[in-house]
Structures are given as structure tokens and as C-alpha cells.
């Protein structure tokens, strides 16, 4: 192959943390960088970090980051040698790769033919079948008749998985458990696929009931050589999107690792692959594995591979893109220690993981060192907008073994301070401290299997949670740090004010959105400078005292001492115990100011977004749970459903309309029989 010119100037056709990540490596290599940005990202961190920056257009990605011709024009004007697409956006767009080639610009990724081969999941599976790579049973044909797709699903037996042929990242994907759900799920998956990829071709696969998601990092150069940099376990997912990834995969034998690695290289070489790629497999408990898809780009979770191999994969990408051979051969690669990556998202796990938008009023990540790495594209004061993926950062930890690395992950999550938006940090902590996760009992259904514990639906499952929370809330109130402006109210008084009793009071708490009532007796004696309380719950009596300082709570309950990290938000506080993280607040009395009869309740837009479909007519009778309207934001659909049988009196928005979070979407009339 002919030699390619060296890269002196690199344009990053992306945004956020991956753009910042690429800039860091380019800077170390002495490569000048060019950032691109939309109007929403004019002051973004990747723009500040780059040597130059070019505006692409308005905030929506289809008018900015997906405008390949604008990016190429900017690259030509600025004399760019290469373009790195990152992941998402144009990273797997064959036409964009072709445009780079036509203008003699290096595309830091695979050749056009490889992207096209893997760009269609159905075509990719045909290639893999011919190459001898094991496949999950399914239908990957061209005939897209809904009746034919359903027939294949019925023949395979349920559950099945619908997947967009051009999809990725969990978009255009639906699990179907029963035959009578098939057409509704197909419509939703096709609609989401068309919105996300401009292509609604679907494939149907047998849904494996106990699989692990294990993927192999491969690297190939233009000289016909390839290596695999071992595996990552990405089994813990929500909405088919990864939550926590780790490397190496727990329980992996050397024999199975070699089998999967060689199968992954076979897949890559079958399409003439060059660059960084990931071959994803479903791994069954008996050791059988099946090809799922190949991602022809750098993965979000690539840092865990970097941590266990000591290699910079972006540097490898830039090296291979210039026509040079791979930096190392297979025999020179080795696994060192264990690494985890947790994706910090602006989303609400307690509300179906809906994205959260707002200003990052506080953003203090854990301190980075040889064990802890934080990849991010935002700073304190930045805004999480509705236009892009709501990931705030990736928290990566490493240690000598899985147990030590997992302990470091839990500790780092407990001190990761974010306010202004709702995040998944508490949920990630509950995952990292869950006994089944500690024991590596991993499947792609992990979250569903352990839902009750991960979301702490029963606050009494850990007996000491309530006295810990009560002690904290009393100390918080006494310190005056209540997050409220009502410090002169008797309800916020720190002197145990009561009309008829000086030293005993009843408190109403909210713990994980559950109402908890307790009685507190304030004891006049002091111990080690800490106030003592006798707390009575429906589970028993607890003698408690504590000290609140520097983001930690030291509490003694019935003679046993505990130390908890905490994060104070505008309305709630997250307490991190050894078992789980919980959110709590001290309730104030209901003075009758709320409108309990608001017939619009439940029909407010959960976020800023776009209406994509109205699925019923006004005055049409509908059943409880029937979807009335669908809106989309941050690459995710949200269904607005009927809370009971009834009918829609009026829709306030139409498909295509932009709506603000909190806007009332429709007027619903409940059926008389349900009232």
C-alpha cells in the first residue's frame, strides 16, 4: 500500500468528551487540532481545548454535526490532513468516509468498503455466516413485510428482539415477549430507526435469556496484520445501552479468550478491516458465543482496554491511519489488572432513565491519579442541553484485581459531586455495591433481575438506613443547610420547637420517594461533642449521635460507628452507605396549597423535545396503558400513555412541534366507570 502523508493537522468531527479525549492524544503527539461546533456548543470544552474551531450551524445535529459537506469544506479551507470522527454522528457513515477519500483527507477509521459491509446488520450477518463466525438464530432478509417478520418471530418462539439493520446504541431496538405485542413494537422500532438513522429496515433475532455481552477490541493495519486487545464485559445495560463496562471479562478462560479473539479477527479480516473496531458477541453460560455486530469505530468504553493494556488506542488509530504497521504484535500484548468504566449521565433512573437537562451548578469529579481517570467534555457552569446524548463523563478506575477496582469505583462514585441536573450516580453506586455484581453474576438482564435492590424500593431492607437518615437530616437542619429559604419557619427551627413538647417531635421523611414517619427524643447530654437522639421507627428504637462535616456523616447507632459520604442537592441529599445510595429529605407539612384535582397530571412533557407521533384521534375511546402520543429527546423516545380508560379531548401539539419540559401535551377525560 502506498505511503500516506503524516498527520500534522487533525479535525475532530465530533463534540463532548470524545472530542476532548482525541485532542489530548493529538496534543501529546504534536498534532495541531481543529474543533467543530454547533450554536449550542459555542463555549464547549472541546472548542476551548482545540487550536482552532469552526462553527457548523444550529444546535440540532442534523443541521450541524451530521453535515458532512460542511465539515469537509472546513477541512479543505484550513488545510487539514486528517479527520477523526470519534463515535456516533458520522463515525460509521460510508459516504462521509468516501468524501474524505475524494479530497485526499485521511479518514481515521476503516475504509469505505468495511463500513458499508458492517453498516447493515443483516448484510453483516450474511458475511459473518460465510466466514464461519457463529450467529444468533434470526431473520436478516430483505422482505420487510410486517406479516413476514411476525411469522419468523412466531416460528422462532418468543421472546424475540427487533433490531434496526442500520442501528446502534440501542436505538431502533425492541424486545417482544408475546405475539400480540409484535406489531406495536415493530412500529415503534421502525419509527425510532427512521428518526435516528434514516432507515427503518429491521431484523428479528431470538432473544437469549441468560446472555452476557462480551466484546473484543480488534486492531488491523493496512499491511494485512491484526491483533485483538482482549475483551470487555458490557452486560449491565438499560434500554440496550451499556451502563458499566469492565475489562477483562470475569471468569474468562485463556482458551475461550483466544477462541473469541480469533473469531473477532476473522470477522474483521473478512471485510478487509483497517483501524480500531469492536466485535460484539453474546456469551452463553455454557461458553457458546454468537456474533452480534461489529462497530467500525472506537467505542465509548475503550478506556478500560487502555487501562489493562497500557496502550493509547487513539494513538494507535492515528499511527495506523498514516499507513504505518501496528505498534505491537499479539505476543507483545498482555493484561494487567482490572478496570471499570461507569457512564455518568444526566438522567433520572427513578423515572425510566429519562434524560435531565439544566445547568451544571456543581461539578466536582474525584481526583484523578494512576487508579482513577475521568473523561469528560463539560465543566461546572456548562449546560446539559436536550440536543445531544446526556452523558456528563466517563469514570474509569483501575487496580490490581477486580475486587480492589470495584471498591475504588464505589468510593469514587460516592464523592462525585454533581448538581443542577438529576444524575445516575446513586444508581451506579447501587450497582457497584450490589452483592450479585460483586460476585460477577452478570447477564444483560441484570438490572431487571435485581430491580428491587438497585432502586431501593423498600427502605427497610437495610434496618439502619432510617436511623442514619434521621440523624443526618437533624444535623443538616441544625447546621442551617436545608436547601430551603424558610429558615425562619418553625418547621425549620433547630431548637426542637413544638407547641406542647420541648424535647420530643415527630418527623416526616422522604426516603427514595417513600414516606417514613419517626419519633425523635432529643437527649440533653453530649458525647464527644455530638448531639444524641433516641429515634423510634416501626422497626425499633435506636440511640444515635453523629457529626456532620466536610461532606461526610459520622454516625453511631446503638454503639456501632459508621461513616457515610453524602452529596447535597438543591432539594434532596444522597447518602452513600456500604450497602446502597439513597436520596432523602425532611418533609414540611402540607398546608393544602397543592391542587390534587389537576386533570392534566401525568401529561406534562418530561423534558424538552419533539413530538414525533399522535397514535389516537380525539374523542376516540382508549384503554388504560394505551400510548396516546410519542415524543423524542436526547435520542430517546418517550411514550405518553393513558392512565385509565377514557379519551383525549384535545392535543395541544402536533408531530414535529418542539415542546418545553413541563408543557401540558393534551387534555384527557377519564371514563366514568373508572372515576
b/e 175-196 (16+ beta carbons within 10 angstroms → b):
ebeeeeebeebbbbbbbbbbbb
Residues 6 or more apart whose Cβ sits within 8 Å of residue 439: none
What count of Cα atoms within 13 Å lies in the side-chain half-sphere of residue 127?
23
- Estimate the crossing angle of helix 254-269 against helix 121-131, to 10 degrees: 110
* 354, 606 contact by CB (below 8 A): yes
Contact yes or no for 187/210 (Cβ under 8 A): no
Buried b (16+ CB within 10 A) or exposed e, 325-352: ebbeeeeebebebbbbbbbbbbbbbbee
Contact 344, 391 (CB under 8 A): yes
226 forms bridges with which residues in the sheet? 220
Strand partners, 604: 664
Catalytic residue among 297, 343, 373, 532: 297
51: number of Cβ within 10 Å: 14
> What φ, ψ does residue 117 adopt, rounded to 5°?
-65, -40
Would residue 187 be called left, alpha or beta, if left means φ above 0 and alpha means ψ between -120 and 50 degrees? alpha
| Residues 604, 635 contacting (CB under 8 angstroms) | no
Q: In angstroms, rounded to a whole number, what is the distance separating the alpha carbons of residues 303 and 417?
A: 22
Q: C-alpha dihedral over 578, 581, 587, 590, to 10 degrees?
A: -140
Residue 400 CB coordination number (10 Å): 11
C-alpha to C-alpha distance for 32 and 12, rounded to whole angstroms: 11
Query: How far from the centroid of its chain's Cα atoms is residue 520's Cα?
Result: 40
CA distances from 495 to 264, 474, 475, 477, 543 (A): 67, 11, 12, 10, 19
Calpha distance 584→476 (Å, rounded): 12
Q: How many residues does the chain have?
A: 675
CA–chain centroid gap for 671, Å, is 38
Q: Can 297 be counted among the known catalytic residues?
A: yes
Q: Determine contact, residues 404/438, Cβ cutoff 8 Å.
A: no
H or E element that contains 259: helix 254-269
Q: What angle do CA 408, 581, 393 make, to 5 degrees?
A: 55
Cα Rg of the chain, angstroms: 27
Distance CA 240, CA 448 (A): 12
CA nearest to 120, candidates 168, 152, 87: 168
Contact 203, 138 (CB under 8 A): yes
From the centroid of its chain, how far is CA 407? 21
Q: Which residues are catalytic?
A: 297
Amino acid at each position: 500500500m502506498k505511503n500516506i502523508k503524516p498527520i500534522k493537522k487533525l479535525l475532530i468531527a465530533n463534540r463532548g468528551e470524545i472530542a476532548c479525549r482525541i485532542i489530548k492524544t493529538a496534543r501529546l503527539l504534536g498534532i495541531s487540532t481543529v474543533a467543530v461546533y454547533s450554536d449550542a456548543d459555542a463555549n464547549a470544552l472541546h472548542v476551548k481545548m482545540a487550536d482552532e474551531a469552526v462553527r457548523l450551524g444550529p444546535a440540532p445535529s442534523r443541521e450541524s454535526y451530521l453535515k458532512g459537506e460542511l465539515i469537509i469544506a472546513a477541512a479543505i479551507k484550513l488545510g487539514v490532513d486528517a479527520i477523526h470522527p470519534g463515535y456516533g454522528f458520522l463515525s460509521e457513515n460510508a459516504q462521509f468516509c468516501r468524501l474524505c477519500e475524494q479530497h485526499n483527507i485521511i479518514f481515521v477509521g476503516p475504509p469505505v468498503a468495511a463500513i458499508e459491509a458492517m453498516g447493515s446488520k443483516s448484510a453483516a450477518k450474511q458475511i459473518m455466516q460465510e466466514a464461519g463466525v457463529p450467529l444468533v438464530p434470526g431473520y436478516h432478509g430483505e422482505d420487510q413485510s410486517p406479516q413476514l417478520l411476525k411469522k419468523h418471530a412466531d416460528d422462532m418462539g418468543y421472546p424475540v428482539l427487533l433490531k434496526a439493520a442500520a442501528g446502534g446504541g440501542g436505538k431502533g431496538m425492541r424486545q417482544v415477549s408475546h405475539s400480540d405485542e409484535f406489531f406495536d413494537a415493530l412500529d415503534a422500532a421502525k419509527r425510532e430507526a427512521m428518526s435516528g438513522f434514516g432507515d427503518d429496515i429491521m431484523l428479528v433475532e431470538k432473544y437469549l435469556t441468560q446472555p452476557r455481552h462480551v466484546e473484543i477490541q480488534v486492531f488491523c493495519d493496512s499491511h494485512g496484520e491484526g491483533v485483538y486487545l482482549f475483551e470487555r464485559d458490557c452486560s449491565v445495560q438499560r434500554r440496550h445501552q451499556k451502563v458499566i463496562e469492565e475489562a477483562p471479562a470475569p471468569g474468562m478462560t485463556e482458551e475461550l479468550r483466544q477462541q473469541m479473539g480469533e473469531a473477532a479477527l476473522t470477522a474483521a479480516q473478512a471485510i478487509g478491516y483497517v483501524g480500531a473496531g469492536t466485535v460484539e458477541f453474546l456469551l452463553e453460560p455454557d461458553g457458546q458465543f454468537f456474533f452480534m455486530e461489529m462497530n467500525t469505530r472506537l467505542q465509548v468504553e475503550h478506556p478500560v482496554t487502555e487501562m489493562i493494556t497500557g496502550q493509547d488506542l487513539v494513538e494507535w488509530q492515528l499511527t495506523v491511519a498514516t499507513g504505518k504497521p501496528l505498534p505491537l504484535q499479539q505476543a507483545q500484548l498482555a493484561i494487567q489488572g482490572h478496570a471499570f468504566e461507569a457512564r455518568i449521565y444526566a438522567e433520572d433512573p427513578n423515572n425510566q432513565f429519562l434524560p435531565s437537562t439544566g445547568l451544571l451548578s456543581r461539578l466536582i469529579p474525584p481526583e484523578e491519579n494512576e487508579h482513577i481517570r475521568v473523561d469528560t467534555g463539560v465543566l461546572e457552569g456548562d449546560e446539559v442541553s436536550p440536543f445531544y446524548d446526556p452523558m456528563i463523563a466517563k469514570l474509569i478506575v483501575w487496580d490490581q484485581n477486580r475486587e480492589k477496582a470495584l471498591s475504588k469505583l464505589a468510593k469514587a462514585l460516592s464523592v462525585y459531586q454533581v448538581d443542577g441536573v438529576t444524575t445516575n450516580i446513586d444508581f451506579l453506586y447501587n450497582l457497584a455495591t450490589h452483592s450479585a455484581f460483586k460476585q460477577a453474576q452478570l447477564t444483560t438482564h441484570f438490572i431487571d433481575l435485581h430491580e428491587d435492590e438497585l432502586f431501593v424500593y423498600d427502605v427497610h431492607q437495610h434496618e439502619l438506613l432510617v436511623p442514619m437518615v434521621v440523624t443526618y437530616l437533624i444535623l443538616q437542619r441544625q447546621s442551617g443547610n436545608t436547601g430551603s429559604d424558610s429558615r425562619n419557619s418553625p418547621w425549620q427551627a433547630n431548637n426542637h420547637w413544638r407547641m406542647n413538647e420541648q424535647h420530643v417531635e415527630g418527623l416526616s421523611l422522604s426516603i427514595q420517594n417513600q414516606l417514613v414517619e419517626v419519633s425523635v427524643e432529643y437527649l440533653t447530654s453530649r458525647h464527644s461533642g455530638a448531639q444524641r437522639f433516641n429515634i423510634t421507627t416501626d422497626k425499633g428504637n435506636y440511640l444515635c449521635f453523629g457529626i456532620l462535616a466536610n461532606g461526610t456523616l459520622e454516625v453511631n447507632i446503638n454503639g456501632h460507628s459508621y461513616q457515610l459520604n453524602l452529596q447535597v442537592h438543591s432539594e434532596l441529599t444522597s447518602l452513600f452507605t456500604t450497602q446502597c445510595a439513597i436520596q432523602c429529605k425532611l418533609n414540611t407539612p402540607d398546608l393544602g396549597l397543592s391542587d390534587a384535582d389537576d386533570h392534566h397530571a401525568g401529561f406534562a412533557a418530561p423534558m424538552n423535545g419533539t413530538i414525533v407521533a399522535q397514535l389516537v384521534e380525539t374523542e376516540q375511546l382508549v384503554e388504560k396503558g394505551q400510548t396516546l402520543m410519542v415524543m423524542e429527546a436526547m435520542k430517546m423516545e418517550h411514550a405518553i400513555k393513558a392512565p385509565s380508560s377514557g379519551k383525549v379531548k384535545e392535543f395541544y401539539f402536533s408531530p414535529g412541534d418542539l415542546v418545553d419540559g413541563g408543557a401540558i401535551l393534551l387534555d384527557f377525560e377519564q371514563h366514568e366507570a373508572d372515576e
